[in-house]
Amino acid sequence: MFKKNQKFKFFIKKFQLVRWVILFFLVVFFVGSFYLIVQAQMADVDKLSQQLAKPTTIYDKSGKKAGELADQKGTQVSLKEISPNLRKAVLSTEDRNFYHEFGFSFSGYARALWLFVRNKITGRNYISGGGSTITQQLAKNAYLGQEQTFTRKFKELYLSIEIEKNYSKNKILSMYLNSSYFGHNIYGVEDAAEGYFGVSAANLSVSQAASIAGMLANPTLYDPTKYLKYATSRRNTVLQNMVSNDKLSQKKATAIEKTKVVAKTPNVSQKTNYQYPWFFDAVIDEAISKYHLTETEIMNRGYKIYTTLDQEDQKDLQEDYSNKYLFPVEDDQSASIALNARTGGILAVIGGRGKHVFRGFNRAIQARRSPGSLIKPLVVYAPALSRGYSSTSTFPNTPITFSGNYRPTNALGYESGKVDMATAIADSYNIPAVYLLDKIGVKTGYDYAKKFGLPVEKSDENLALALGGMKEGVSPQEMAQAYTAFANNGKMSAAHYITKIVDATGSVIVNRPDVTQKQVISKKVANEMTTMMFGVYKDGTGAAAAPSGYKVAGKTGTTQDVDNTSIQYASKDLWAIAYTPDLVVASWQGYDVSTTGKTLPTYLSESLGPLFKVQTEQLISNSPQTAFGSQSSTKESSSSWLDKLKNLFNNSGKTGKNISNQFAGIKDKISDAWNSLSNFIQEHLKQ
C-alpha cells in the first residue's frame, strides 16, 4: 500500500511539472504573439504602397542628406498592364497557392522548423530556407532584414496577416511586382521589361517573362547581360515550373528552351539624387561585403545610411575629373581617394574617368596595380628607423648586383655618391631602397607590408618589394589607408564609408562602423618619416604637384612600362600620396590594360601633377588645416653641396619640360627652379 501511494504521489508531481512546463510555453507563446501583433499593427501596413516606394537615403558625415539610391522606385503599373505570361511565371515559381492561402504557408513553416532543428544539430544558428509566400516576401522587403532566424520568420508571419487584412490579393501581387528589384538600379517589372528587352510589361513574351521572373531570386546572378549561362538555366527552370503548374505546355517550353536569351544592357539614367555615384557605389559595396546585406535589400528597403562623406570634397573631385585640362594624357584612366587621417573615414572617392556605370569597376578600391616607389616608406624606411637607422644614415647610390643577380638602377639612370635617407626618399632613388631592404632583411619588409594592410603574397618576399614589385598589386584605397599611420602618430585607421544604418521602421541595424585602429609604428618613427617626406613635395619628385600655400608630406611612385621598352622613359603607373594631420590624399594614373604604344610620361608635370596639385589644394582648404606638430620645426637633413646642386638642376630640368601644356593653376616651373636656386645660394651664404 505504501509503495502504491509513493508511486501515485510521484505521478502527481510529474504531472504537475508537465503542467507547469506547458503553462510556461503557453505564456511565452501568448506574450510573444501579443508583442508581434502589436508590432505588426504599428508598422503602418495601410501605408505599405508608399513604404515600398521610399528609396534608401544616404547621409554625409554631418548627418545632412546627400542623396538617394533612386529617385523613384520603378514605374508603377496596374496588374492589368502586366502580361499574363509574367503573372503565370511568377506565381508558378514563387507562390503557387497565392490565391488560396492567407499570407503564409503551413508547409513552408514546417519545412523551416525542420531546417532549423537540423541546423541546430549541426551547429548552425540559422534557417536555410522556408518557402516564403509572396505576401511574406512583400513584408520582408518593406520591413524586415535578410537574416534567416525564427524571430524574423514569425515577425514576417504576423506582418503578412496584417497585409492580407488590408489589401486584396491582386493589390498585393501588384505591389510585389512593382517594387521588386532587378539589378542595374531598376525597380518594378515595367522598367525591367523596358530595360532588358525594350518592351512594356504588358507585351512580354513567355521567354522574356520567365527570364524576369527568374531574376527575382537573385537579380545579380541571373542578370542576362552579365551571366547569360546562369540566366538561361534559370529561365528554363521557370519554364518547367510553369509546365508543372499547368500554365504552359511541355512542347512549348521545350521549344523556348532551345532559344537564346536575348537581352540588352539597361540604359539607366542616373537621377539627380544619385549625385555622388562613385561614393554611393562604394557604400553599397561595403554594406554588402562588411555588413552582409544584399544589393536587393539595400536598394529596396528604404534604409537611412549614414556615411563619412564630405559633400564639398566629393563635388570638387567630380568637377576636377570632368576638367580635361587637368589630364595632359587624354585617354588614360585615373582614380583618387581622400581619407580622414584620424578615423579612416572616406571623405571623397572617384573610381575612374568617363561615363559612370552603376556599381561598375571602381579603380580607387578594386584596381590592383604596382605601387612603385610609393611602397618604400612602408617596407624599407619606416622599418629601418625602427631598427636604429636615422635620417642621416647614408647609402650607396651606384648600381649594385644583389643576390639572385638582381641589379636595380635609378630612374633615368642617375648615379651619385652616397646619399642620406632623407635625400633618397625625396628624390626616390631605387638603389638605396633595395640596399637598405637587403640590410634589414626582406622578411622584415614583407612583415611590415602585412602590418600596413597591403595584400602581399609569399612570392612577393624578395628584394623587388622595395620598388613595388608585387604579384597582384594594391589599390589607391589600400595605400591611402596605410599612410594614415604616418599622418596619425603611427596609428593606422581602417578605411570605411558607413557609420550607421537605420531601417524603415527606425531600428538601428548598424550602430557603429566595424573598423579598427592599430599602432603599426611608433610616434617617433611616424614623425621622423613625416619630416623626411616633407622633402618630396618641397624640392623632390613631387615638386610639380605640390599644393600652393600648403605644407604636405607624402610620396610619389612610378613603374616602368615593360611593354613599351622602345619608348624612352615610359611609365605604366603613376602615383602620388600627400597628407596632413587631417587627411590623406592618394591618386593613381595609368591604363587599365597595357598596350603597345600606350604609355605615360615619367615626369609628374606631364601627367598626374596638374590633377593632384589642384585636388590637394581643394581638399586641404576644406579641412581643419591642423598644423604639423614637432615635425615642422625639425631641421631637414642636409647632403653635400655637390649632391644638392646636382639634384637642384636635375629637378629644374624635369619640371621645366613641356610648360606650355600645363594647366593655368600650375606654377611656371622655370620660375620655380630659379627661386629654388636663389634660396639655395642665400642659405649657404648665411652659413
What's the mean pLDDT in 359-365?
94
pLDDT recorded at residue 568:
63
Position 598 scores a pLDDT of 75
Q: Quick one: residue 150, left, alpha or beta (phi over 0 = left, psi -120 to 50 = alpha)? A: alpha
Binned at pLDDT 50, 70 and 90, residue 161 comes out as: confident
Percent of the chain, pLDDT > 90? 58
CA distances from 335 to 140, 501, 545, 666 (A): 38, 27, 16, 20
Mean pLDDT of 444-455: 97
> What angle do the packed helices 430-440 and 442-451 form, to 10 degrees?
100
pTM of the model: 0.72
Higher per-residue confidence, 394 vs 662? 394
Look at residue 43 and tell me whether its pLDDT is greater than 70: no
The question of whether 373 is a catalytic residue gets the answer yes
Predicted local distance difference test score (pLDDT) of residue 343: 95
Sequence-separated (6 or more) residues with CB below 8 Å from residue 159: 40, 43, 45, 136, 139, 143, 144
Share of the chain above pLDDT 70, in %: 75
* Mean pLDDT value across the chain: 83
Per DSSP (E only), the strands in 168-312 are 304-307
Asked if pLDDT for residue 227 goes beyond 80, the answer is: yes
Question: What's the pLDDT band for 647 if we cut at 50, 70, 90?
Answer: very low
Q: How confident is the model at residue 102 (pLDDT cuts 50, 70, 90)?
A: confident
286-318 tens-digit pLDDT: 999 999 988 878 887 789 999 999 999 999 999
79 versus 163: the higher-pLDDT residue is: 79
What is the tens place of the pLDDT at every residue in 188-216? 999 999 999 999 999 999 999 999 999 99
Q: Work out the angle between the directed axes of helices 206-215 and 228-244 (0-180°, nearest 10).
A: 110
pLDDT value for 244: 96
Residue 36 in this model has a pLDDT that exceeds 60 = no
CA gap 626, 620 in Å, rounded: 10
> Residue 659: pLDDT band by 50, 70, 90 thresholds?
very low
In contact, 497 and 286? CB cutoff 8 Å:
yes
C-alpha cell, 518? 592599430
Q: What is the pLDDT of residues 234-282, one digit of tens each?
A: 999 999 999 999 999 999 999 999 999 999 988 765 455 789 999 999 9
- Strand ranges of the sheet holding 65-68, from the earlier edge strand across to the other edge: 65-68, 57-59, 304-307, 498-502, 508-510
In this prediction, residue 605 has a pLDDT band, given cuts at 50, 70 and 90, of confident
Crossing angle (nearest 10°) for helices 641-655 and 669-686? 170
Of the listed ranges 53-67, 144-158, 411-425, 481-495, the least confidently predicted one is: 144-158
Query: What is the C-alpha to C-alpha distance for residues 176 and 173, in angstroms, rounded to an integer?
Result: 5
Strongest mean pLDDT among 44-53, 263-272, 334-343, 355-364: 334-343
Region 643-668 average pLDDT: 38
pLDDT at 14 over 70: no
Residue in 160, 211, 370, 373 annotated catalytic: 373
| Catalytic site includes residue 68 | no
Q: What does the pLDDT read at residue 632?
A: 42
Q: What is the pLDDT of residue 251?
A: 95
The answer, yes or no, to whether residue 107 has pLDDT greater than 70, is no
Distance CA 250, CA 253 (A): 5
Most confident option among 95-109, 449-463, 568-582, 623-637 = 449-463
Q: Report the distance separating Cα 355 and Cα 270, nearest Å.
A: 11
Q: What is the CA radius of gyration of the chain?
A: 32
Identify the active-site residue in 94, 295, 297, 528. Answer: 94
602 vs 449, residue with greater confidence: 449
Residues 520-545 have a mean pLDDT of 96
